[in-house]
Structure 1
Amino acid sequence: MRVPTLQTSRVQLDAISARQAEQARLQSRIASGLRVQTPGDDPAAAAQAELARSRLAHLAQDQRATQLATSVLATADGALAQGVDLLQSAREAIVAAGNGAYNPVDKQALALTLRNTRAQLLQIANASDGAGGYVFGGQGTSTAPFSGDASPAYGAAAGAQRIGEAGRYDASVDGQQVFMNLPQGNGVFTTASTPGNTGGGWIDAGSVTDAAALTGHGYTITLGGTTAAPTYTVTDTTLNAAVASNVPFTAGAPIDIDGQRVQIAGTPATGDSFTLAPAGRQSIFATLDDAIALLEGSPTAAAYNEGLERVHTGLDRALDGMTLARTRVGEAQRGVETSASANDQEKLDVTTRRSGLQDQDLAQAISDLQTSQASSQAALQTYVSTSRKSLFDLLG
């Protein structure tokens, strides 16, 4: 007859079950590598780990944005580099066109060069970004941003696409700013001969000598006096008031008007006039069209010199604008690279923090499992030994 009580057996069985349950938990943690498999394992750690997981998802999305922005900006930089080279070539052609030894055939050849340059610039303006969009597509467009060969028009919304977390990265370039919205003349004001002038005088593009004195008004310079003693009068056409009257005139000498300086060269006739006006905006395509028309036409020597001066200045402004655009793209690239590097570091930090919250120390878990198995084996042996005891063993 056996003597172990029901209570003793139950206590021993409960202890064995607890050790087996602990072994199962340890084996599951070792198999998954996770210490926190359910929120109940460690509520605080589980909550923090979920926040870390959410942050990692955001970082992964931002990483994809940096990769796209890097690709698009690299394409934009290459396109702008080609554009700068083309404008440099066009500028050299205009400088060459000022050679007095060039005949009409030479000028036609230069005009053909400018036509090819214009066509290549239009192709660059409609360059694909390799991701289904356009490099100079502004805020986004499903079709080529520039349409029409004769007078290209910009069909996309001005600005640039922004992607990534909080829209930190540029994913396009404002084509309107690069190709269409370029300042005329010297960037502040424009000059021109009045139609109907009878002399051989022409006016240069001018320059700004005192920005604080600029008024933004229009002006007219009218030649007077006599052939032997020419003079000029300056009128503010905005206020319809004389600024200077009967000032002695010398061809090629500077004329200063409210912070603006111009020179009238050649042999203007009495009664000829020249104008100054605030600079407007013009596309690079229109500037090249002006240059081509000048080289293919038959203007007077004065009109030719003045036209070359105007086109040369316009190309300089376009070249400055495109160079500045390339600089901005370079800055954007550097910003993306810096953000990508920071994202990589944050991803490593967040991953490390999440691992510390969730991951199981395998060496410790294996040690705990071995200890639990030894304890469980001892408990089983004790139970077996106790369960075999009988009344005769106790009486003996």
Structure 2
Amino acid sequence: MRVPTFQTNRVQLDAIGTRQAQQAKLQSQIASGLRVQSPGDDPAAAAQAELARSRLAHLQQDQRATQLSTSLLGTADGALSHGVDLLQSAREAIVAAGDGSYNPVDRQALAQTLRATRDQLLQVANSGDGAGGYVFGAQGSTTPPFSGTGSPAFGPAAGEQHIGEQAGYAASVDGRAVFLDVPQGNGVFVTGAAATNTGGGWIDAGSVADATQLTGHAYSISFGGTAAAPTYTVTDTTSGTALASNQPFTAGAAIDIDGQRVRVAGTPATGDSFTIGPAGRQSIFATLDQTIALLEGSPTPAAYNEGLERVHTSLDRALDGLTLARTHVGEQMRAVQGHADGNDQESLAVTTRRSGLQDLDLAQAISELQTSQASGQAALQVYSATARKSLFDYMG
């Protein structure tokens, strides 16, 4: 015969309390959806889940950087596209200026069109990025990067701003490289006529015939002979060496000089000369200014043709530069999008891993809760039945 004692009551109460604590924990887990609510629940899983949470926070921050970079680069692409359109319009005006039927008034009208184009291009160069900065602000600027109207000066430090993980995402474009640092002439060398020339000859912008022969020297082509039988002499003015002497001259024929090919058209006079030298750098604005000055001036036909050839070639280099800059921006946007896609994939993987470490199997938890509640209820009924009996209940 079983007679309850203090010890047996204590054991039963402890068991009931344990089941109630288990039920409370299961109910809390079900409410939160988390199996690991504190490090004490599963120290190893809690530590790994915290590492996953930290990585997710880092990925979210980096994802914000990719979104900002994509937005800024998209603005830059739009600005460069507008710049290309403006330069293409200027190029068409220069081609039209070569029409022999154009009179000074027509040229003045073209000059006004080019002046408006230049002003619009300066606005493009100072485009805002929508975040308080400037698209072509290089290393950053709180004021428009291009200042002045005559010969715009570039204020910021050259280069690009980068943001994000390991500073991998571009947040600006180097305006100096795009608008100011443009190769002159054909990009390799430039040609020109001496200021003292009196004849009707002019030299084209030239081209590279054999890049392996280029020396980077300066040259001159001087003319002699007679009007009926003109000749030319080529001199390497850097080394002081005559490369060709008194060669018969044919207008428009190719003259090859150490891998460079030029043509002199018209009728140069005896004593006239032309120069060839390494190409330097010139801003897009300077090229447009030269074009405007040429159209508004009163040059000789030879000087006008030569000037148009020179600015036309320089403008082509500027167009190439803007197109290349746009391609570079497009490649950067592609790279940033690749990083963003990678971040999305990693975020999904880390989230899945974190979920596996700390999330609750809801069906299993509900089943355990129901089992615990049933056994707890049974234990309460047993305790209730035995706790009421004493030794006197069995005496009689």
In which range does the TM-score fall when normalised by the shorter chain?
over 0.9
2:80 — aligned with what?
A: 80
1:257 and 2:249 equivalent? no
Q: How does 1:203-222 map to 2 (within 5 A)?
A: 203-222=203-222
Distance 1:390 1:116 in 2: 110
SS in 1 for 2:178: helix
Within the alignment, does 1:269 sit opposite 2:269 as a pair?
yes
Letter in 2 for 1:30: I
Paired position in structure 1 for 2:166: 166
How many Å separate the matches in 1 of 2:283 and 2:123?
A: 15
| Letter in structure 1 aligned against 2:76 | A
Structure 1 stretch displaced more, 6-15 or 48-57: 6-15
1:165 CA drift (Å): 1.1
Q: Partner of 2:365 in structure 1?
A: 365
Instruction: Look up the equivalent residue of 1:238 and give its one-letter code.
Output: T
Aligned to 1:53: 53
Matches within 5 A, 1:3-152: 3-152=3-152
Q: Any residues of structure 2 matched to 1:172-187 within 5 Å, and which?
A: 172-187=172-187
When normalised by structure 2's length, the TM-score is 0.97
Q: Which residue of 2 aligns with 1:323?
A: 323
The CA deviation string for residues 346-366 of structure 1, in whole angstroms up to 9 with x for no partner, is 212211111111111122111
Give, as a single letter, the amino acid of the residue that structure 1 aligns with 2:54.
S
User: 3-state DSSP class of the match of 1:82?
Assistant: helix
Cα distance in 2 for residues equivalent to 1:4 and 1:269:
135
Q: Name the CA distance, whole Å, in 2 between partners of 1:291 and 1:392.
A: 123
For residues 310-347 of structure 1, the C-alpha deviation after alignment (integer angstroms, 9 at most, x for no partner) is 00001100001101111111111222222222212221
* Superposition pairs of residues 194-343 of structure 1, within 5 angstroms: 194-343=194-343
Taking every aligned residue pair, what percent have the same amino acid on both sides?
77
Residue identity opposite 2:314 in structure 1 = G
| 1:390 Cα deviation after fit | 2.4
Offset, 1:166: 1.2
What is the DSSP-based 3-state SS (H/G/I as helix, E as strand, rest coil) of the residue aligned with 2:201? strand
Q: Within 1, Cα distance between the matches of 2:263 and 2:13?
A: 110
Q: CA deviation at 1:68?
A: 1.0
Give the match's secondary structure for 1:349: helix
- Structure 2 runs not aligned, ≥5 long: none
Structure 2: distance between partners of 1:143 and 1:337: 29
Distance 2:385 2:77 in 1: 84
State the secondary structure of the residue aligned to 1:289: helix
Deviation of 1:5 (Å): 2.1
Q: CA deviation at 1:137?
A: 0.6
Aligned partner letter, 2:61: Q
Per the TM alignment, residue 229 of structure 1 is displaced from its structure 2 partner at its CA by: 2.0
Counterparts of 2:394 and 2:260, CA distance in 1? 124
Counting only pairs closer than 5 Å after superposition, residues 342-361 of structure 1 correspond to structure 2 as: 342-361=342-361
Residue deviations 1:354-384 (CA, integer Å, cap 9, x gap): 1111111122111111111111111111112
> Matched residues in 1 for 2:210 and 2:50: separation?
63
Q: Distance in 2 between matches of 1:44 and 1:342?
A: 28
Tell which deviates more after alignment, 72-81 or 292-301. 72-81
Read off the aligned partner of 2:224 and give its amino acid letter: G
Q: Residue 274 of structure 1: SS of its match in structure 2?
A: strand
Distance 1:391 1:295 in 2: 126
Q: Distance in 2 between matches of 1:112 and 1:9?
A: 106
> Secondary structure at the residue paired with 1:200?
coil
Pairwise CA distance, 1:392: 4.2
CA-to-aligned-CA distance 1:280-306 (integer Å, 9 cap, x gap): 000000000000000000000110000
* Equivalent residue pairs, number: 395
SS in 2 for 1:228: coil
List per-residue Cα deviations over 1:83-127 (Å, max 9, x = no partner): 111100000000000011100000000000000000000000001
- Residue by residue over 1:134-167, the C-alpha shift from the partner in whole angstroms, topping out at 9 and shown as x without a partner, is 0111111111000000110111111111111111
Secondary structure of 2:242's aligned partner: strand
Structure 1, unaligned stretches of length 5 or more? none
Q: Secondary structure at the match of 1:94?
A: helix
Cα distance, 1:394 vs. partner?
Answer: 4.0
Kindly provide the CA deviation profile for residues 238-265 of structure 1, in whole angstroms up to 9, marking residues without a partner as x.
Answer: 1111112222111110000000000000
Question: Deviation per CA, 1:54-95, whole angstroms, max 9, x where unpaired?
Answer: 111111111111111121111111111111111000000000
